[in-house]
Amino acid sequence: MFLSWDTIYSVNIEEFNNQHKKLFAIINNIYELKNNPNRDSLIKAIKELDDYSDYHLKKEEEVFEKYDYPEKENHKMFHNNYRKKIALFKERIENEEDLVKLIKEISIFLRNWWLNHIQNIDHQYTDYLNKKGLY
Protein backbone atom coordinates (compact mmCIF):
# COMPACT_ATOMS: atom_id res chain seq x y z
CA MET A 1 0.00 0.00 0.00
CA PHE A 2 1.31 3.40 -0.98
CA LEU A 3 -0.15 5.33 1.96
CA SER A 4 -1.27 3.70 5.22
CA TRP A 5 -3.16 5.26 8.08
CA ASP A 6 -1.39 5.25 11.44
CA THR A 7 -2.42 6.64 14.81
CA ILE A 8 0.43 9.17 14.61
CA TYR A 9 -1.71 10.99 12.03
CA SER A 10 -4.67 11.31 14.39
CA VAL A 11 -5.84 14.87 15.02
CA ASN A 12 -8.05 13.56 17.86
CA ILE A 13 -11.22 14.63 16.05
CA GLU A 14 -13.04 11.58 14.71
CA GLU A 15 -14.74 13.31 11.76
CA PHE A 16 -11.43 14.69 10.45
CA ASN A 17 -9.57 11.43 11.06
CA ASN A 18 -12.21 9.57 9.03
CA GLN A 19 -11.94 12.12 6.25
CA HIS A 20 -8.15 11.81 6.24
CA LYS A 21 -8.49 8.02 5.99
CA LYS A 22 -10.81 8.40 3.00
CA LEU A 23 -8.29 10.75 1.36
CA PHE A 24 -5.55 8.17 1.91
CA ALA A 25 -7.73 5.57 0.14
CA ILE A 26 -8.32 7.90 -2.81
CA ILE A 27 -4.58 8.62 -3.07
CA ASN A 28 -3.86 4.88 -3.01
CA ASN A 29 -6.35 4.41 -5.86
CA ILE A 30 -4.61 7.11 -7.88
CA TYR A 31 -1.22 5.50 -7.27
CA GLU A 32 -2.53 2.10 -8.41
CA LEU A 33 -3.48 3.60 -11.78
CA LYS A 34 0.22 3.44 -12.70
CA ASN A 35 -0.28 -0.30 -13.26
CA ASN A 36 -2.91 0.33 -15.92
CA PRO A 37 -2.59 3.96 -16.98
CA ASN A 38 -5.67 5.37 -18.62
CA ARG A 39 -6.39 9.06 -19.09
CA ASP A 40 -10.14 8.75 -18.44
CA SER A 41 -9.55 6.77 -15.24
CA LEU A 42 -7.00 9.31 -14.05
CA ILE A 43 -9.33 12.23 -14.80
CA LYS A 44 -12.11 10.49 -12.85
CA ALA A 45 -9.81 9.70 -9.91
CA ILE A 46 -8.44 13.25 -9.74
CA LYS A 47 -11.99 14.62 -9.84
CA GLU A 48 -12.90 12.36 -6.91
CA LEU A 49 -9.81 13.55 -5.04
CA ASP A 50 -10.54 17.19 -5.84
CA ASP A 51 -14.19 16.94 -4.79
CA TYR A 52 -13.48 15.05 -1.57
CA SER A 53 -10.44 17.06 -0.53
CA ASP A 54 -12.40 20.27 -1.14
CA TYR A 55 -15.24 18.89 1.00
CA HIS A 56 -12.77 18.05 3.77
CA LEU A 57 -10.91 21.37 3.63
CA LYS A 58 -14.19 23.29 3.72
CA LYS A 59 -15.31 21.26 6.76
CA GLU A 60 -12.11 22.21 8.56
CA GLU A 61 -12.54 25.84 7.57
CA GLU A 62 -16.14 25.86 8.83
CA VAL A 63 -14.97 24.53 12.19
CA PHE A 64 -12.22 27.16 12.31
CA GLU A 65 -14.82 29.89 11.81
CA LYS A 66 -17.28 28.41 14.28
CA TYR A 67 -14.69 28.12 17.05
CA ASP A 68 -12.66 31.18 16.05
CA TYR A 69 -9.44 29.24 15.61
CA PRO A 70 -6.67 31.86 15.86
CA GLU A 71 -4.54 30.33 13.07
CA LYS A 72 -7.44 29.95 10.64
CA GLU A 73 -6.15 32.41 8.02
CA ASN A 74 -2.71 30.84 7.92
CA HIS A 75 -4.24 27.37 7.73
CA LYS A 76 -6.54 28.42 4.88
CA MET A 77 -3.49 29.66 2.98
CA PHE A 78 -2.11 26.10 2.99
CA HIS A 79 -5.47 24.80 1.78
CA ASN A 80 -5.61 27.33 -1.05
CA ASN A 81 -2.07 26.48 -2.18
CA TYR A 82 -3.08 22.81 -2.28
CA ARG A 83 -6.18 23.64 -4.35
CA LYS A 84 -4.02 25.53 -6.84
CA LYS A 85 -1.60 22.62 -7.19
CA ILE A 86 -4.43 20.17 -7.83
CA ALA A 87 -5.83 22.52 -10.49
CA LEU A 88 -2.42 22.49 -12.21
CA PHE A 89 -2.32 18.69 -12.17
CA LYS A 90 -5.83 18.57 -13.67
CA GLU A 91 -4.63 20.76 -16.54
CA ARG A 92 -1.58 18.62 -17.14
CA ILE A 93 -3.55 15.37 -17.37
CA GLU A 94 -5.15 16.48 -20.62
CA ASN A 95 -1.82 16.82 -22.46
CA GLU A 96 0.63 14.58 -20.63
CA GLU A 97 2.04 11.83 -22.81
CA ASP A 98 3.74 9.81 -20.07
CA LEU A 99 0.81 9.01 -17.78
CA VAL A 100 2.79 6.65 -15.56
CA LYS A 101 5.31 9.38 -14.80
CA LEU A 102 2.51 11.88 -14.08
CA ILE A 103 0.62 9.42 -11.86
CA LYS A 104 3.78 8.85 -9.83
CA GLU A 105 4.43 12.60 -9.60
CA ILE A 106 0.88 13.31 -8.47
CA SER A 107 0.94 10.43 -5.97
CA ILE A 108 4.23 11.51 -4.42
CA PHE A 109 3.03 15.10 -4.16
CA LEU A 110 -0.22 13.98 -2.51
CA ARG A 111 1.48 11.65 -0.06
CA ASN A 112 4.05 14.24 0.95
CA TRP A 113 1.56 17.11 1.13
CA TRP A 114 -1.05 15.27 3.19
CA LEU A 115 1.43 13.67 5.59
CA ASN A 116 3.18 16.97 6.15
CA HIS A 117 -0.09 18.89 6.42
CA ILE A 118 -1.69 16.48 8.89
CA GLN A 119 1.37 16.06 11.08
CA ASN A 120 2.63 19.64 11.07
CA ILE A 121 -0.32 21.91 10.29
CA ASP A 122 -3.47 20.04 11.34
CA HIS A 123 -1.96 18.88 14.61
CA GLN A 124 -1.69 22.55 15.57
CA TYR A 125 -5.47 22.80 15.94
CA THR A 126 -5.95 19.61 17.96
CA ASP A 127 -5.53 21.03 21.47
CA TYR A 128 -7.46 24.20 20.66
CA LEU A 129 -10.45 22.37 19.19
CA ASN A 130 -10.37 19.62 21.83
CA LYS A 131 -10.61 22.33 24.51
CA LYS A 132 -13.70 23.62 22.65
CA GLY A 133 -15.24 20.14 23.01
CA LEU A 134 -14.52 18.72 19.56
CA TYR A 135 -13.36 15.09 19.50
Where do the domains of the chain lie, and which CATH numbers do they carry? 8-131 (1.20.120.50)
Q: What is the pTM of this model?
A: 0.95
Cα–Cα distances (Å) from 65 to 7, 47, 61, 68, 104, in that order, read 27, 27, 6, 5, 35
pLDDT at 96: 86
11-41 pLDDT, tens digit each: 999 999 999 999 999 999 999 999 999 999 9
Residues of the chain with pLDDT under 70: none
Which residue intervals of the chain are DSSP H helices? 14-32, 39-66, 72-95, 99-116, 123-131
Cα–Cα distances (Å) from 128 to 61, 104, 131, in that order, read 14, 36, 5
Q: What is the DSSP letter of 44?
A: H
Q: What is the DSSP letter of 68?
A: T
Q: Which residues contact 21 (CB under 8 A, 6 or more apart)?
A: 5
pLDDT at 43: 97
